[in-house]
């Protein structure tokens, strides 16, 4: 039986290196069958009383597919 990932996701600790703008957590989430890349930053409330997660979700784009040579160039004008 395959697990249904619809409307669920995961976050993992992210290696920020020396870049403070990188998110503390990265992962993926599926919302109604659409997969998103998910990022999270740990923020401190303005009054300093606690912490919260700030989230950003971007639609996961499929990897580009290379076009066949015949689709890239019009080979009909080659004289052979």
pLDDT in tens, 44-70: 999 999 999 999 999 998 777 766 555
Percentage of residues of the chain with pLDDT beyond 90: 57
User: In 3-state terms, what secondary structure has residue 70?
Assistant: helix
User: What's the whole-model pTM score?
Assistant: 0.69
Check: CB of residue 51 under 8 Å from CB of residue 45. yes
**Distances from the Cα of 49 to the Cαs of 25, 41, 54, in angstroms?**
22, 17, 16
Alpha-carbon gap, residue 2 to 59, rounded angstroms:
23
Query: What pLDDT sits at residue 73?
Result: 58
- 17-32 residue pLDDT tens: 889 899 999 999 999 9
């Amino acid at each position: 039986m395959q697990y249904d990932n619809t409307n669920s996701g995961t976050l993992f600790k992210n290696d920020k290196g020396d870049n403070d703008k990188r998110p503390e957590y990265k992962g993926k989430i599926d919302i109604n069958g659409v997969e998103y890349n998910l990022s999270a930053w740990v923020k401190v409330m303005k009054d300093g009383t606690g912490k919260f997660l700030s989230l950003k979700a971007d639609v996961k784009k499929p990897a580009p597919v290379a076009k066949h040579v015949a689709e890239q160039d019009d080979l009909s004008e080659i004289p052979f």
